[in-house]
Structure 1
Amino acid sequence: MGPPSTFVGLPVIPPNDPSLNAPSPTPRAIRQILEARSQPEGAGATVRRSIGTPSLRHITPFLLLDHASISPGAGFPDHPHRGQETITYILSGAVDHEDFAGNRGTIYEGDLQFMTAGRGIVHAEMPHEDGTGRGNVGMQLWVDLPRELKDVEPRYRDLRASEIPRVEADEGRVGVKVISGRSYAVDGVRELAYTPVWLLDVTIQAGGRFRQALPAGWNAFAYTLEGTTTFDTGATMEKVARYHNAVFEQKGDQVLAQVPADAKEAARFLLVAGMPLDQPVVQYGPFVLNDASGVRQAIMDYQSFQNGFERAEGWQSEIGRVMV
């Protein structure tokens, strides 16, 4: 991938945040629980979408959450973006990436890619064919960019599975991959995205209890991947089955989760939190701006190959040619 541009994002771990050191932390309640229903997307791919739907259009700074399954021959051929960042996390298999600036690479199981679209990019994301015929599964999260950073140059940051810190708690019954943020006094890799986001991959074995402080006022949700997770909200115990998104209230200091001792399987979920952005969101497909005129300009720029999309003229990805 090309060299990263100078990082100017806000701190991932806010200094002196009261919720991260609360002497008597209060658990966050759950605002809503959404089932991630399957739907077609891209060219032959299937996604379970739980943010970016009529039930939950946005939850600042988050714009979209897809749990994607990409079979051989399917994928996401050449398409544009402007005004957001995307975080792609590979759960199984591998995905190839290529863009109009000549950047090309592959992310494998457990790897992540943080892409800043900024003022404009055109790229393709396709399954990495390894000859086994197995599908590829991953998560993609779209994160809004602050208004003043909508026009930054596009960039990438790949995070390999081997670089992600891991921590165990509750006598080994809880395991956390600290992708970004802090969990059990272990910090993840910082400076991955312009908009501060915490991303934790949590597994709880039978009888395990998980406790996680979150920055004050940040929006947060848990997307369940495996098993059934019980969230302790202080007033109730909420059981959430796999492929659901539990969206938390902003009030409170921590998220509490557990799995009963008699459970027949472990639970796994992604806990995600992000700093809210005080700005309007106007979205048209892959273009995310702050007003309708900005969206119209993005469409015009893409169609006219200008203002960030100059390199799209005549460009076609090698990995996307199979779809043509």
Structure 2
Amino acid sequence: MSTTAYTRQIERLVNGIPTQDGAGVSLTRVLTHDLQRRLDPFLMLDAFHSDEPSDYLAGFPDHPHRGFETVTYMLAGRMRHRDNAGNEGLLEPGGMQWMTAGRGLVHSELPEQENGLMSGFQLWVNLAGKDKMTEPGYSDIPSAGIPEVQPQPGVKARVLAGEAFGTAGAIRRDTTEPLYLDLALEAGVTLDLPVPATHNAFLYVYEGKLAVGDGDTRAAEAGRMAVLSNAVGSTGVKVRAEEGSRFLLIAGKPLNEPIAQWGPFVMNTREQVEQAIDDFRAGRF
């Protein structure tokens, strides 16, 4: 049966919330705390896009994480990563950083430009309870290391994680099975996107306007996230570009575990979070 027979629909459209983080970086928080259970295993998605240096120059000085993974994907600009495990990397346009905080890591992300456009996304992916205290890890993947495919005329897809269109992405995770795609559609093009029925999924449109679903479709415009329904038997989602569009498709297998969060620490219980705070303050990260 084709994807269009069991396509997901837009369950909810979400406007991002303008905010600041780090040392004063202006960004839009797209996936917020109130959606963590619904979009398990994803904890947060931030979008940043500005050519005003005062919006990003302060960057993200040293700060800790425990219990999850951070994924930074750059569209434009240059950002330098350093952490206390000795890892260092330069994020450039089209590149991705996938960092596993695990039992604890302190890192910084600072711009390596004084002007020009800084644009991209940071996604937080939860770790299962059994993996929260794993050894930290870091992968710096340049643009050339992210597979790009053209599954049909008028469509370009970058496969950051998971598998799509017969192409394995740059990253794979066995527990959460994340699917992370960056897609560009020409105006008028319709595309069937496979999404595992086991996964929670959402779209984030960052350019253009996208009709989602089959029959009584709804549209997501630039700057809006579309939470996709979890229809029984669904094998994917049908999208149509009402104008030239670029968007992210992000999906993952839910962990169905308790979430206890205090800022940069995401564990399963309050006691574990308190231990993380104590460990950080005592220099045990």
- What TM-score, normalized to structure 2? 0.92
CA RMSD of superposed structures (Å): 1.9
Is residue 290 from structure 1 mapped to residue 271 from structure 2 by the alignment?
A: no
Which whole-Å CA distance do the structure 1 matches of 2:107 and 2:174 have between them? 19
Q: Which amino acid aligns with 2:120?
A: G
Determine the structure 1 residue equivalent to 2:80. 96
Structure 1 distance, partners of 2:134, 2:2, is 36
Residues 178-187 or 88-97, more deviating: 178-187
Equivalent-residue separation in structure 1 for 2:157 and 2:193 (angstroms):
10
Q: Does 1:227 align with 2:208?
A: yes
Q: How does 1:245-264 map to 2 (within 5 A)?
A: 245-251=225-231, 252-260=234-242, 263=243
Residue 167 of structure 2: aligned partner: 186
AA aligned opposite 1:86: T
- What does residue 119 of structure 2 align with? 137
Q: Partner letter of residue 46 of structure 2?
A: D
- Which of 57, 60, 82 pairs up with 2:40? 60
Structure 2 distance, partners of 1:193, 1:158, is: 19
Aligned-residue sequence identity (percent) comes to 36
Q: Partner letter of residue 197 of structure 1?
A: P
What is the aligned partner in structure 1 of residue 145 from structure 2? 163
Distance 1:223 1:157 in 2: 24
Residue in structure 2 matched with residue 153 of structure 1 by the alignment: 135
Q: After the TM superposition, which residues 186-205 of structure 1 pair with which residues of structure 2 at under 5 Å, given as runs?
A: 186-191=167-172, 195-205=176-186
C-alpha spacing 1:190/1:205, structure 2 compared with 1 (3 Å): same
- The separation in 2 between residues aligned to 1:152 and 1:236, in whole angstroms, is 45
- Of 173, 185, 191, 1:210 maps to 191
More strand by share: 2
Give the structure 1 partner of residue 104 of structure 2: 120
Structure 1 residues 116 and 273, CA, compared in 2 at 3 Å: closer, same or farther? same
Please give the residue correspondences for 1:36-47 in structure 2 after superposition, counting only pairs within 5 Å: 36-47=16-27
1:22, 1:290 → 2: CA distance?
A: 39
Residue of structure 2 equivalent to 1:13: none
Cα distance per residue 1:253-303 (max 9 Å; x no partner):
11111124xx4xx10100001111021001000000001101111111111
Letter in 2 for 1:293: E
Partner of 1:270: 248
- Equivalent pair of 2:3/2:194 in contact (CA under 8 Å): no
The 8 Å contact of residues 209 and 259 in structure 1, kept in 2 or not, is answered as yes
How much has 1:195 moved relative to structure 2? 3.2
The AA in structure 1 aligned to 2:223 is Y
| Cα 1:194–1:99 shift into 2, 3 Å | farther
- For structure 2, the residue ranges without an aligned partner over 5 or more in a row are none
SS at match of 1:272: strand
One-letter code aligned to 1:107: L
Equivalents in 1 of 2:198, 2:184: separation in Å? 25
Q: What is the Cα deviation at residue 154 of structure 1? A: 0.5
Structure whose alpha-carbon radius of gyration is higher? 1
What is the Cα deviation at residue 248 of structure 1? 0.7
Shift of 1:74: 1.7
Aligned to 1:84: 68
Q: Secondary structure at the match of 1:169?
A: coil
Supply the distance in 2 between the matched residues of 1:22 and 1:283 (Cα, whole angstroms).
40
Are the aligned partners of 2:190 and 2:238 in contact in 1 as well (CA < 8 Å)? Answer: yes
Report the alpha carbon displacement of residue 31 of structure 1 after superposing the two structures with TM.
Answer: 1.6
Stretches of structure 1 that go unaligned for 5 or more consecutive residues are 1-20, 310-324
Give, as a single letter, the amino acid of the residue that structure 2 aligns with 1:149.
D
